Amino acid sequence: MGLLSFFDRFKAHRADRSPWGDFYFEPTGSRSVSGMRVSADAALRLAAVYACVRILSETMASLPIVIYRTRPDGGKDRIKDHWLYHRLARTPNRYQNPFEWREMLQGHLTLRGNAYCQILANAKGEITQLLPIHPDRVKLEMLTNGDYRYRISQAGGTELILPRGEVWHLRGLSSDGLLGMSPIELARESLGMALAAQDYGARFFANDAKPTGGWIEFPGNFKDAEAKRVFRESYQQAQSGANRGKVLVLENGMKFHEVGVTNKDAQFLELRKFQITDIARLFRVPPHMIADLDRATFSNIEQQSLEFVMHTMTPWAERWEAAIGRDLIFDSEALEVEFDFSNLMRGDVASRSAYYQSGIQNGWLTRNEARAAENLNPLAGLEQPLRPLNMVEESDAQESETENASRTPDTDPESESEETANPTDAHLRLRFGALVASNARRLARRIHKKGVIGANDISLIADALGVSHESVKHWAKNCDPIPDEITLRKLLITLGTTL
């Protein structure tokens, strides 16, 4: 650390230099070409940087986190009774709630490219606390065996050394796979120019929005250089500090000439506006979200809000999910962690109603699932999906075509001649047997293909054959395991013809 850098740190406001303070652990930052020293904390002096960091941090902290356990059939069960869910969504540590914890870590990622947590676990290997560590206190150290560990500077000058397995490390964009790159360091020149412009504006308005400097016309000559210096100092003392704005009195024919506003000063606001857009570009935040509405319209704000979810927050969520799956979940557990974006993607009432209506009518969304999405309690009888009457599954359509092709005039009820307009008992028995055989053939093919008789199949068999559900349940117990298709068809015919 150079001597100049050391003294620059003593100029910082509100610096806590006590033994328990953070002053001696904070980075000094790098000086940009504009002369401004740029660091993560210095960049927060810019309102646009603070707004971008706050938006990203608060959005990530507000996303509901969901843990699933995968099933053998490819489905997923949502769980809340796992210790990992309690750490991520309930009590990450004894100091913070989950919103504050995730907001802090995302802020570290956004400004410094890295976020760290010390992992504390019990004897079972279950994580009991995730204690955040400020990235400026952490140093990654490579070992001779190719592994690495973390050196953490603590208050009072002590140092804590933790192995890789006891630190949860969230990385941003990295060039070596070990440490994330700081966006502030990468955009040092751009942010330095913005800081310099901000300081210039502050000095400009501190001088009553007038250009600094001016010149005095003196028709005569000063006696010597010392006389000129004394006059200059007395003039500055009479017009600065508490004397600012007082009437100026000049002698010996002197005239004061004020310097006018230059084109550079006139374009100051344009420069400031460009820097806001440049900072929004750095963090990939839509300008309208940090109150830059110069080019905003109703239509493009809606599209930019969707792009913010898809192209800004989704990569951050994927980064979190991958880090959690890598470091915090046992390999033997079939768990998946996801951030729920449904609240961010919610449209207006009309759009949501059209979405629910489409899902319910097409059978891929139940009415109770739609109620749950609107934070309404489920109702009895609304848990089954609806099936459109004019649509069937492809397998059922093929079965229906096969049955129609295999029907003969003798067995097709619709091919009855006019002679059967007043059927006898024999005709009724023949017709009933044909119907049972046709239904049995279709049901046997369906059940044999599935290899199991489920609750829906029991209801379907009972309705198709005109028998009671209890009879079908008793029959299904005797059909375990499922016989071949021909035998199954004969059993169904027997079941259907039993009165």
User: What are the pLDDT digits (tens) for 391-401?
Assistant: 666 555 555 66
Kindly report the CATH class assigned to 3-27+77-184.
Answer: alpha beta
What percent of the chain has a predicted confidence (pLDDT) above 90? Answer: 40
- Provide the pLDDT for residue 79: 93
C-alpha span between 447 and 451 (Å, rounded)? 6
Q: What's the pLDDT band for 2 if we cut at 50, 70, 90?
A: very low
Q: Identify which of 294, 311, 133, 275 has the alpha carbon closest to the alpha carbon of residue 193.
A: 275
127 vs 466, residue with greater confidence: 127
Residue 81 pLDDT exceeds 60: yes
C-alpha span between 63 and 68 (Å, rounded)? 16
Structure tokens at 204: 């400009």
Residue 333 CA neighbour count, 13 Å, CB half: 19
C-alpha span between 133 and 154 (Å, rounded)? 10
Q: CB 99: neighbour CB atoms within 10 A?
A: 14
Peptide bond preceding 481 in cis form (omega within 30 of 0): yes
Residue 11 pLDDT exceeds 50: no
- What's the mean pLDDT in 349-359? 87
Q: What is the pLDDT of residues 258-301, one digit of tens each?
A: 665 554 555 667 778 888 999 999 999 999 999 888 877 766 88
Residue 383 makes CB contacts below 8 A (sequence gap 6+) with: 366, 367, 368
> Count of residues for the chain?
499
Q: What's the pLDDT band for 120 if we cut at 50, 70, 90?
A: very high
C-alpha span between 287 and 272 (Å, rounded)? 14
CA quadruple 63, 67, 70, 71: dihedral sign:
negative
C-alpha span between 269 and 196 (Å, rounded)? 13
- What's the mean pLDDT in 202-219? 66
Residue 28 pLDDT exceeds 70: no
Does this model's pTM top 0.85? no
Amino acid letter at 450?
K
Give residue limits of the domains in the chain. Answer: 3-27+77-184, 346-386, 394-496
Q: What's the pLDDT band for 136 if we cut at 50, 70, 90?
A: very high
- Provide the pLDDT for residue 422: 56
Residue 346 pLDDT exceeds 90: no
Q: What is the pLDDT of residues 146-163, one digit of tens each?
A: 999 999 999 888 999 999
Lowest-confidence segment of 70-79, 242-251, 318-327 by average pLDDT: 242-251
